[in-house]
Structure 1
């Protein structure tokens, strides 16, 4: 039995200037190294000056205004370089990365690194655990929101609304979700981490195709839902 959920993992989350992975920027980030066998954790977090205005719609969610980012944040290139180094080290050590809706965070990070002239290749080697993909796979027909805060509530994991959209709280909640899913679903826990990674790639594609079909029937005949995971290739 693999029992990947009982082994060291790292949780990752970003807060950003918006939701467009091609054009929006990193504002805050967190990487939390976790050892489930001991309960120990190490937290690294960053606040960046993204170099652009932070829309009020984004600052209302994560609490970081343009003024605060300029006053307290570090240059984006420095922050991004440190995040990339942290994730590369984890990848080299074969520590899986937990990220809720990983395709968003990893793709936006990839575009930011490319924008600042420091692309990396960790996306191809990294092994990712995405509780959003896992939850949708094992409980396909559950109605209601699949946002992080609502999925946490479903599984009895505390994430106070006031803490949601803080990257440290969200990253830790994602790790707890991964642990809970591994602990309660033996078919997931039994999978080798490489097999689980590849399975999630296929599950994400199936989920996206299903959502796209629904949207085209119900709302938008031209709807397109991205199928690639955990990194959306540059177009």
Structure 2
């Protein structure tokens, strides 16, 4: 049996913004896919800060919604981290689109609330991770066009549903991964450790090339992180809840 037959654990978050060191998780989903089917668990979290209107417009959760119905962050984050770490312990790959965002913001939130990060729980880096964004860039490097999740759903003929809901995004990410591995079967033939290492190398090469291009263009602003699938978060802003 191949690892492609599962189990796989998909992970996604919706947040207050795009800065992993400052912003907070509002919703999260873990989706286990194995021989018995697809099993979804979701969380709504009160982030303890105002949710900007721009973020609410994307994921549909307002500050009032989160305050009225959201779980305390420390409770939800501990539950999420426990399941993610357990998957890694069991050798189950965690699948996340743009993994360095979701896994890093999870670790930043855990740090903010005085909880152990996923690598700290493992005593080693988080692995194995499968990231359809990194794999697509690596396998189809010269394809033109954007590579957001909705774009890859089009490339790999995956129905999108209502994207920007964490659980829907995870299911779409798992479906994209399945189609991607069908299109590039040489990736599926690699063992998970080798495939994880290949993504580390591929992401670093892409990030260095992207950053060099931005420099040549005279562009300011944040540079792409060269680390994947996660980096140690900066000192987290203290929690207010």
TM-score (norm 2): 0.91
Structure 1 segment 112-127 matched on structure 2, within 5 A: 112-120=109-117, 121=119, 122=122, 124-127=125-128
- What is residue 89 of structure 1 aligned with on the other side? 86
Question: Any conservation in 2 of the 1:17–1:24 contact (CA below 8 Å)?
Answer: yes
Structure 1 segment 9-158 matched on structure 2, within 5 A: 9-35=8-34, 37-38=35-36, 40-120=37-117, 121=119, 122=122, 124-158=125-159
Greater shift, 215-224 or 127-136, is seen at: 215-224
**Paired residue secondary structure (2:45):** strand
Q: Which runs of 4+ in 1 moved over 4 A?
A: none
Q: Structure 2: any 5+ residue segments left out of the alignment?
A: 235-241
**Paired residue secondary structure (1:114):** helix
**Paired residue secondary structure (1:74):** coil
Aligned-partner Cα distance in 2 for 1:221–1:118: 34
1:190 and 2:177 are equivalent in the alignment: no
**Paired residue secondary structure (1:212):** helix
Aligned-partner Cα distance in 1 for 2:223–2:26: 27
Question: Any conservation in 2 of the 1:4–1:182 contact (CA below 8 Å)?
Answer: no
TM-score (norm 1): 0.93
**Paired residue secondary structure (2:143):** coil
Q: 1:86 to 1:222 in 2, by over 3 A?
A: closer
Q: 1:158 to 1:233 in 2, by over 3 A?
A: same
Task: Give the CA RMSD over aligned residues.
Answer: 1.6
Q: Deviations over 1:43-65 (max 9, x none)?
A: 11000000000000100000000
Question: Any conservation in 2 of the 1:6–1:179 contact (CA below 8 Å)?
Answer: no
Question: Any conservation in 1 of the 2:105–2:233 contact (CA below 8 Å)?
Answer: no
Aligned-partner Cα distance in 1 for 2:2–2:54: 40
Q: Structure 1: any 5+ residue segments left out of the alignment?
A: none
Question: Any conservation in 2 of the 1:215–1:223 contact (CA below 8 Å)?
Answer: no
Q: 1:221 to 1:17 in 2, by over 3 A?
A: closer
